[in-house]
Amino acid sequence: MLRNLVPRVWKLRQRFGIAAPRVTIQSQIPWYWRWIGIAVLLGISAASAAWIYDAGRRFAGFDRSEVQEELRATRSALEDARAELDRLRAITNAADNRLAIERTAEQKLAQQIRALEQENARVREELATFESMLSSEARSANALSIYRFKVEPDVLPGEYRYRLLLLTPTTRQGRDFNGRLELLVNLTEGGQSAIMSFPEPGDAGAAAFRLSFKYFRRVEGTFRVSPKAKVERVQVRVYEMGSNQPRATNSVSL
């Protein structure tokens, strides 16, 4: 009987003694309620922290609502200032445009005035020429007259501009003069002398040298030579239609 009692005592010591297996106690609360409780606790902690932080700033003299209101007011003032700046810029640009237009109009008016003054001086000069021609005996002669023949270098190298005034005799009794103009240019280039005639044969600008007028005609045009050539003398000849003999000649030296 003792033999059976000893093993039983040994088994009881193993079950309830120090060497007994550990017992785990688990609650009956579901796991999702645990997570919900943790989330609520974290939310309460965050709200408390925010309230404490805001209370600390208010205690230190910083009010977020007042700052936001001041910020909104500042932004509104800035927008108003930008709008005013844009309006002033538009006014300035319009004023600049008007000023530029007025300056352009003033420059054009000044150019027109200068052109009118030059034209007025030319008309006065021509009038004086006509008066001198009408008072001379050459006006009554049966001859075509050439007055104020001038040749001057033009803008481009080798280009020259010529001007002259033609006057018909009184014996033509109002009949039109039809003819042509010819220029003979004496020049030197590279130590060699040469004579050029304008218009040249087959020149597309030969129409500019044709003449058709009744009493007087002011002729103006250009001719070109080599830029390296030096023009020494220019002679103008006026031919009547159907004639190979010049009715009038004149020359000028440069």
More confident residue, 207 or 224: 224
More confident residue, 142 or 198: 198
| Identity of the highest mean pLDDT range in 17-26, 30-39, 84-93, 118-127 | 84-93
Element (H, E) at 195: strand 192-198
Q: State the maximum Cα–Cα separation within the chain, in Å, rounded to a whole number.
A: 187
Same domain, 174 and 112: no
Considering its fold, how many domains does the chain have in total? 2
Confidence of residue 252 (pLDDT cuts 50, 70, 90): very high
Confidence of residue 68 (pLDDT cuts 50, 70, 90): confident
Same domain, 238 and 148: yes
Q: Is the dihedral of CA 125, 126, 127, 130 positive or negative?
A: positive
Domain ranges, residue 198? 140-253
DSSP-based three-state secondary structure for 81 = helix
**pTM (two decimals):** 0.50
Alpha carbon distance 136, 126 (integer Å): 15
The tokens describing 64, both together, are: 């977020």
User: Averaged over 215-221, what is the pLDDT?
Assistant: 86
Same domain, 83 and 103: yes
Asked, for residue 12, whether it belongs to a domain, the answer is: no
Same domain, 146 and 249: yes
Peptide bond into 199 cis (omega under 30): yes
Confidence of residue 236 (pLDDT cuts 50, 70, 90): very high
Asked, for residue 120, whether it belongs to a domain, the answer is: yes
Same domain, 78 and 148: no
Same domain, 193 and 244: yes
Same domain, 117 and 199: no
Which CATH number fits the domain that encloses residue 186? 2.60.40.10
Q: List Cβ neighbours of 178 (8 Å cut-off, separation of 6 or more).
A: 211, 212, 240, 241
| Identity of the highest mean pLDDT range in 31-45, 53-67, 128-142, 185-199 | 185-199
Same domain, 198 and 126: no
Asked, for residue 50, whether it belongs to a domain, the answer is: no
Asked, for residue 19, whether it belongs to a domain, the answer is: no
Asked, for residue 46, whether it belongs to a domain, the answer is: no
Same domain, 128 and 148: no
More confident residue, 107 or 47: 107
For residue 69, the model assigns a pLDDT of 81
Same domain, 222 and 186: yes
Domain boundary among 135, 164, 182: 135
